[in-house]
Chains A and B, each alone.
Chain A
Amino acid sequence: QLQLQESGPGLVKPWETLSLTCTVSGGSISSNTYYWGWIRQPPGKGLEWIGSIYYSGSTYYNPSLKSRVTISVDTSKNRFSLKLSSVTAADTAVYYCARHGPVYGDYLDHFDYWGQGTPVTVSS
């Protein structure tokens, strides 16, 4: 059974860089079938897609966050990571990692496996 687990600091200071890692178990991140993504959810609000990455390093980013986001992959450790720079209180959220369904073309498909989420607070 595929499992995803987020990890990283729960508290980040304003204007610093938020860094999270998603470790995948029960399956290989190097599969040529799937993209892997980050989604966040501010308190009391809806889901917001941040970006997604392929094992080769190919990425898609949310246009509204693109200037501040970097997603990378480490196939040797079966994990992928998120960096969000210059954070403010508006970046306070639960951050989820998830796997997209199979890739058949130049688009992303549904999220079929999700991590449990990790809360991140931006505060001094």
Chain B
Amino acid sequence: QSVLTQAPSVSAAPGQKVTISCSGSSSNIGNNYVSWYQQLPGTAPKLLIYENNKRPSGIPDRFSGSKSGTSATLGITGLQTGDEADYYCGTWDSSLSAWVFGGGTKLTVL
């Protein structure tokens, strides 16, 4: 059971927008930065968003992040078939003194 809760799956049509949520508590999301990772099939995870809403160089602005209270959200606009992947949130948990990941959300672009 993950400390951070994500829906197992989400789907949307090409060109549409989708949001992926990550729910936690005051000891993790509520007081620490959230990051998001994209894992394409058979590959290593890749950083998409860090410090809640910042994009690393090379990540298109179709990807966005936000945080409110003890929840965080990843938004993807203009969906492409190449966006089909597993998406994970992650953050520091101050009570556990540990890094924690969400269980992951599988995005299907129909």
A interface residues with partner B (beta carbon < 8 Å):
37, 39, 46-49, 52, 60-63, 96, 101, 107-112, 114-117
Contacts and interface: CB of A to CB of B under 8 A. Distances in A.
Contacts of B63: none
Q: For chain B, give the interface size range.
A: 20 to 34
A109 B98 contact: no
Contacts of B100: 49
Nearest to A62: B98
B47 A111 contact: yes
B14 interface: no
Given A47-B104, A109-B50, A111-B35, A52 B45 contact: no
10 closest A-B pairs (Cβ-Cβ)?
A110-B35, A110-B50, A49-B99, A46-B104, A107-B92, A114-B44, A47-B101, A46-B103, A108-B99, A117-B44
B101 A46 contact: yes
Contact of A107 (B32, B39, B46, B104): B32
A109 B101 contact: no
B37 A111 contact: yes
Contacts of A46: 2, 86, 88, 101-104
Given A46-B101, A60-B98, A108 B92 contact: yes
Contacts of A96: 44-45
Contacts of B46: 114
B39 to A, nearest CB: 8
A47 B97 CA distance: 17
Nearest to B2: A46
A52 B51 CA distance: 19
Nearest to B93: A107
B33 A109 contact: yes
B77 interface: no
Contacts of B45: 39, 47, 96, 111, 114
25 contacts: A37-B99, A46-B101, A46-B103, A47-B37, A47-B88, A48-B101, A49-B90, A62-B98, A63-B97, A96-B45, A107-B32, A107-B92, A108-B99, A109-B33, A109-B35, A110-B33, A110-B35, A110-B51, A112-B47, A112-B56, A114-B45, A114-B47, A115-B44, A116-B43, A116-B44
